[in-house]
Structure 1
Amino acid sequence: MTTWTAPAIDRRHEPYRADERTMLEGWLNYHRDTLLLKCAGLTGEQLRTASASPSTLTLLGLVRHMTVVERSWFRQRFAGADLPELYDFDADPDAEFNTVDTADAEADFAAFRAEITAVDAATAGRDLDEVCTVKRRDGTANEISLRWIYLHMIEEYARHNGHADLIREAIDGVTGE
């Protein structure tokens, strides 16, 4: 058992008045920080604690999932980077969630932070109207703008931060925004 504990986080707040790009980046950073805030102060073992049977959803699984999602949408799809997958999705399409039993929480948090840094660098100065082509599961393809990706990521974090609220409360009773 690891004695590593998730560090405290000073959550950045979204801007109240700004241009569109600053607002989108601000809200995305707010939600990124919110996920980290939900994990702050917990041990690696607590971060690997499943929410409620039969679900395998854990806080660490959410951090790992959002690392994958950031990488996939911003760097692989939008920026066209040829990057290896972080987990063996051929063996398990939900590997980021289902392999936390042996996961190194400290390494996973470092990967999350590194991915955000890489994403921010990949999108810096890029126009919100710039598009990439994304194939859907049904085989159709759509052109998707960077603006859409930012909005999708904000939605993705907001949804999973709701899950994180419930998981954290089940672990130690901590609640909050």
Structure 2
Amino acid sequence: MHIATDGEVVDIITAADHWQSSWYPPSDVPTGTAHGSTGVCVVDGQVVLVSDDGTYWQFPGGRPEAGEDWSDTLAREVSEEACATVLGCRLLGFSRGLCRRGPEQGLVLVRALWGADVRLDAWTPEHEMVERRLVPPQGVWDALTVPTGWEPIYRRIVIEAGIPAGR
């Protein structure tokens, strides 16, 4: 099982593009364009996953709006996507992606990754997510949709959040 180490470059190659992604610890904010926050959200010992189609499941997160810092973005995105309120959060680290080939060649994007304790609010989706589900920690890896090539980064995220990293 490959787990990204600090600063290690992970190649993510598709037919359309080639990204190089790296993991950075919370104390080492990488250079690049702030591209939002994503949270491993926990409520009553279970992890919150969201889906925009009922098939592919992910952690809630998204891009910043004007004037937001990393934690502001996390709180808003968790509210919008998971209909949940962040009660407390801990920065797990950062992912930094460099586009080597494709329409965004040369772009460098940085995302903050969080562990968050949340309270579920009434499920009233108003944005892109259409479903929310709770998964026990030992089932997260099997329930999560991990894009091809991103496995080492996702394993690092879940390990930092204290969740089993799958096979």
The alignment's TM-score, normalised by the length of structure 1, stands at: 0.31
Larger-gyration structure (1/2)? 1
**Higher helix content, 1 or 2:** 1
The one of the two structures with greater contact order (alpha-carbon pairs below 8 A, sep at least 6) is 2
